[in-house]
Structure 1
Amino acid sequence: MSGSGHHSSRRSTLASRPADLRDSRSSTIGGTGGDGGFMGRTPQTTKNMPSSVRRNSVFASTGRSRASMAPGMYTNLAFRDPRPIRDKGFQSDCMRNVNEFLVSARYPAPISSKTLVSPTAKEFQSIFRFLIDTLVEQGTGWSKKFEDDALMILKDLKYPGMDTISKTAFTAPGAPQSWFGMLGMLNWLVELCKAHENWNDGHCISDPILSAPHLLPLDHPHLEDRLLWDFASRTYDQWFDGGAEEFPEAEHELELMYDRMAMTAVRESDKLEATFTKRNLELQQLHVQEPPLKKFEDEYLQLMEDKTKFIAFIELNKQKAEKTRQAILKIRDAISGQNQDLTGQRLELSSIETAVAAQNLTPDEVNRMNHERESLSRGLDDLRTKIVEASQMAYDQEMLVTKSMDRFETLLADYTASCHQIGLLTRSADLTGQLDYKIEVDLGVEDLEDLRTSGIHMRSTVWQGLQNLRERYRQELIDLSDNRIALEDYCDRLGQQVEGQTEEVRTLEVKLKMINDQAELAQNKLNTENTVTNKTIFKLENDVTAMMAATQQGVLVSQSQLESTRIAYTELRHKATILHDSLVAQIGSHIDMIIKAKEHSANSLRSIKTLAETQ
């Protein structure tokens, strides 16, 4: 191509083949497989396609260097080919793969046994152009410098082995030092063509952008946009190709999808309503019941009060334990003193026995002493018996005292606990009447006067104070009972007043019900009138909608005709440009021929003239 064709800007860089993919346009645009553009276009990017569906050639026809098909799309990073392109086995696989694809794709030129072993430059260019036409577009224009176009195409396609090819390799592709790289490049183009053939195969892809809308999950974030785009693209194809005005199949599929979405939304709504009802019942129960926080606050106050009582009780027990510890220390000191006295008496007895043994006594003195000893022994036995009886009596009295002390300790603990429970030990002096109800008695003291004084204090002071408190509380109980009776009487009077007001409320409710019935009748009448009015409005709206639809349909028809006229005008202009270029070329060639003929005639005349002059 020449003329103004190379000056027009290209609308697509790596366009798909319109002749092969015209029937599957709905799938490539978004019907079943989304947009399959090589530059990563999504179905949404095709919404802004230009009005003309025809695209200019990818390559310019002039001899000057051609701009990149995808300028600025990728960085200029160098990639190294990771394939073992120098391996003989890999080269054999590449030859077999390229040969099978060329045969299956109906490559028009013959393929000999040396075509893929050491091809000529013409054979290689033919194979390369066939693969590019299969991949990009039929009838692609090529400039005079094939190697520049080929390198630019490979750069645009991001061929990973650009370091293995050069312009020299394109000039002599069959050379041993360059053919392994060129063969790997052809095999890569073949794999790219195979991938392009399966670009919209639903069994080979899993991209949601390329999947059919009815295969997407209902919670897909852009499902409605996909449905709208799929419906618009399919109906546009049917309208553009066959001039269809109604699309029942597409509308039915769209209705099925929206029915599925509606059913899912209804189920989700029912689930949310059930959850809302459950939570609402729980909330009502919480409102009816006593607030849990109030209950916990009461328990906290009770526990804090018990804590205060227990702390006071623990302090009292600590004081008692300290007094008991002091008494035990005194008893231990007394036992130590008695042990020392017993040791001294034993030493004195030993010295007396030694002195008696050292004396020289007569038999009469011995008999007399024996008699006295027997008398003393009998006296000692009597004393021992009396001591045993006294010890037994003392033990019995001690046990009785111990039991009494234990009983007193138990009663004292009960008394202290009761005082803590009613608050006698923790209240202020104003409430207890300046009387200390705390009882502190040390039963281990040796002085019984202290115990007697404590007993007199308990009988005269504490007991009398407790009696006074009982009388005061009894009087308060009587006063509270009188107040309760007065409150019950007041509540009865209030109940009678409430019953009277309840009767009045019932009468007012009957009147209110009558008024509500009248209001409902008026409301029903108004609703009937509104229904008639709404039907009239709906009918008018339908008429307006029909008129707008007819107007829009006319606008669409006019736009379609305008678009068709524009396309025809573009084609005619393109053909005129081509015809103009061809005419200019033919006229130029004819002028050249005329000039050459004129020069030839002039030369012939000069030669004839020279020949005539010589003769």
Structure 2
Amino acid sequence: MRRSSASSSGRLSLAPLRVKNEGPIPSGSGRLSTGSTRSSVGGRTSVGSAIGGGRNSVGSRKSMLPRYNQSSNSMATAAKKRRSSGYGRTYGEHGMVKDPRPNSDKVYKERSIKLLLEFLLEKGFPHNINKKVLLYPTSKDFFRIFEFLFSFIEPKYQVGPKPEEEIPKLFKLMGYPFPISKSNMFSIGSPHTWPTLLGALRFLMEIVKYAFNVDTDAVLFPPRDDEFDSIPESKILFNYMEEGYAAFLNGADTFEHLDEELARNLRQKTEGISGGLDQLVSENNILTRELTDLQNEPDRLVELREKHHTITADERKFQAYLENLEKHKHSFEKRIQEVDEEFNTMTAEYQAILANNKRMKAIFDSQEFSPADVERINMARQELQRQIESIEKDIEAIERQIWDEEINIGKIQQNTEAKCQEYNKKATMLKLIPPSAENAHGRDYEMRVNFHSGSIDFIGAIKPALVQMKKQCNEKVHEMEARRIGEMEGLDQVTEMVSDKGEEISKLESKHKRAEEELECKKEAMQRECQKLQAETDAIQAEITEMRRSSQMSVQEAQKELQQLHKRYEQENAAYLRDQGRYADSLFEAARLIVDHKETIQDYINLFYSGVEKSYADLLQTQYRPEFTKDD
């Protein structure tokens, strides 16, 4: 192979700019190893070196994905060819692809988080990562994890300015069989969205793991039957082109040593190690004698089979033993974690008790109360503490109920989006979408749902046109009466479901009312207790006054003690007022959240009623589809 730095016709080279190499290029093992360098992100090895095994490559590794500017047909073809056999396709009742994996299951979700966390820590994830982050991730955490995983496939990849459009598109290019909507990218950490995105990240992680374990030499240069123990000819030519192009990029113009090496390798492959017909005959005789000796040896197959059965049985026993050890390990780890949590809790309680004892000892040393008074005050304080803990438990229960209702609202939103998609699909089948369709007559029948900024006026804009279309189809009503009755029964069932939801709301309202009454009773009890403490304080002040009259202490000392008592009284009174204000704010905030939640549920019920009416109208339109003439 010979090249010159400039062609005779003066044509400029389309290859990358070459760097003139001042020194000679070593022969033999002078190939470039640019493909097996280590990446600079967290000390991890690039997928190019992991896939290539020990084979060197020239230049930077190319992306495993098709480029963005390819045609949509080639994109779809590549996506179909790269479907993973581990992700089967099932379809829901509306024809949409349904993920068969139990992503929302708690055990499956924890397993996915554990696998993802182990892989990120193993490959040197450069940011702070733990199980808590993966349980409730932010958008920033999700983008960092996706950028890290995708950088194994596309080196130096960074998330663009519009990740909500870019990331679903990349998953589609990789052949991910389940859709990821743009709305999912705006609520990544929500309970009804994160399991879906966690399943997508697990899919991407498995692709990267597979890439690390693929032997590219076996894929690019598969051995043939006629090549017993030699290098394939295609690999010899590939290595020759690779080394020659690397030398060309480094400024070399002559490649005699590469030509000689290629000729030597081809001659060796064709004629044998020493070359020549006589040598081949000699080698054939030697191999024939070795084959005869091997055939005359006693058959070891029976012995090897028995040994194989023994090893297989031992392997099964060890596997069962390892499984039992793993179960014991998990149980002990769980127990250790529980003991650590209990130890931390008891340590914190112990420290709090020590601090309280110090404080109480200081108060006891500085006061002149009797032990009975101190015990009575402590009992009153413990009673108040128990009341506060009871109120906090009630507030936590209410917050858990609010969280459950938010999950239910997310499910209702998904159902509403599915209904709208079903309506748009059927409207498309009836040639009502887009406005330029045959039966649309320039009107926009498409239903768009946006929970943040309102939707199209279905009652005032779309429904009259559909009613007018229904009037044109009245001639066929009697033929579809039987089917209409069946659909009305379905509508009754939906109405019963809505009624059940209304009853549930009534139960929640009554429960909220009872909680408010209980909180009010506890508040009154607290006020009575505070009044009791105030009376005791007044009695103490009276005793102090009486003691000041009867004692022989000086007036200045008595005034100083009285000031200290007044100061203590003001501190306790201020603490009581702060607690009272905090409890009132908490009660007001809980009531406000429940009222807002009730209004939200009522809005979604109204929206659900509207969806039922739209589905009924769409059903009538599907059943009584008009036959338009050219005049229409």
When normalised by structure 1's length, the TM-score is 0.30
- 1 or 2 for the larger relative contact order (CA 8 Å, sep ≥6)? 1
Higher helix share: 1
